[in-house]
Amino acid sequence: MKINPLFIFGFLLLSFSTFAQIDYQARAKKNIDYLIRNEVLLDQILMNEEGVQIFASAKDKKNENPDISVSWKNVPFFLKLLENNKSNVQGIKQNAELSELKKYTAVKFKEQKKPTSIKGTRIVLDPGHSAHNLETAILERKFMKIKGEDVGSSSDIGFYEAELTWATAKILKKRLKKKGAKVYITRKKGKSSFKTNFNKWKKKKFKNELQADLSQKIITQKKYNWYLNEASDKDIFKYMNVKDLKNRVKIINNLNPDLTLMIHYNASGSKIKNGFYSPFKNNYAMAFTGGGFMTNELNTLEARINFLRLLLSEDLTHSIALSDAIMKAHVNVAKIPLIKNKNNVRYLQRNSVYADAPGVYCRNLAMTRGVKGAICFGESLMQDNKEEAIALNKKNYKEARVKTSKRIKDIVDAFEKGIIEYINLN
Ligand SMILES: [Zn+2]
Q: Is 368 exposed, middle or buried (0-12, 13-18, 19+ CB in 10 A)?
A: buried
Q: CA 233, CA 224: separation in Å to the nearest integer?
A: 15
Q: How far, in Å, is the centroid of ligand 1 from the Cα of 154?
A: 28
Give the 3-state secondary structure of residue 171.
helix
Return residue ranges of the chain for CATH 3.40.630.40. Answer: 122-193+235-424
Q: How far, in Å, is the centroid of ligand 1 from the Cα of 127?
A: 9
Q: How far, in Å, is the centroid of ligand 1 from the Cα of 342?
A: 23
CB 55 within 8 A of CB 64: no
Q: How far, in Å, is the centroid of ligand 1 from the Cα of 385?
A: 15
Q: CA 375, CA 29: separation in Å to the nearest integer?
A: 21
pLDDT tens for 66-121 read 999 998 988 888 888 888 766 677 777 777 665 444 554 545 567 888 999 999 99
Q: How far, in Å, is the centroid of ligand 1 from the Cα of 90?
A: 31
* Mean pLDDT across the chain: 91
Which CATH code fits 122-193+235-424?
3.40.630.40
CB atoms within 10 A of CB 274: 6
* Contacts with 9 (C-beta within 8 Å, 6 or more apart), sequence order: none
Q: Structure pTM? A: 0.92
Q: How far, in Å, is the centroid of ligand 1 from the Cα of 425?
A: 28
pLDDT confidence of residue 84: 72
Apex CA 105: angle with CA 100 and CA 110, to 5°? 140
pLDDT confidence of residue 109: 65
Q: How far, in Å, is the centroid of ligand 1 from the Cα of 383?
A: 11
pLDDT tens for 364-385 read 999 999 999 999 999 999 999 9
pLDDT confidence of residue 107: 52
Q: How far, in Å, is the centroid of ligand 1 from the Cα of 284?
A: 14
Q: CA 359, CA 327: separation in Å to the nearest integer?
A: 7
Q: How far, in Å, is the centroid of ligand 1 from the Cα of 141?
A: 10
- Using 50 as the pLDDT threshold, list the residues of the chain that sit under it: 17, 19-20, 99-101, 104, 106
pLDDT confidence of residue 74: 86
pLDDT confidence of residue 101: 42
pLDDT confidence of residue 293: 98
Q: How far, in Å, is the centroid of ligand 1 from the Cα of 411?
A: 15
Q: How far, in Å, is the centroid of ligand 1 from the Cα of 266?
A: 6
pLDDT confidence of residue 269: 75
Q: How far, in Å, is the centroid of ligand 1 from the Cα of 418?
A: 20
283: left (phi over 0), alpha (psi -120 to 50) or beta: beta
CB 286 within 8 A of CB 361: yes
Q: Render the burial of 104-143: b for 16+ CB within 10 Å, e for the rest.
A: eebbebeebebbeebeebbbbbbbbbbbbeeebbbbbebb
Q: How far, in Å, is the centroid of ligand 1 from the Cα of 265?
A: 5
Q: How far, in Å, is the centroid of ligand 1 from the Cα of 144?
A: 12
Apex CA 329: angle with CA 328 and CA 330, to 5°? 90
Q: Which residues fall inside 5 Å of ion ligand 1, going by CB?
A: 128, 264
pLDDT confidence of residue 100: 44
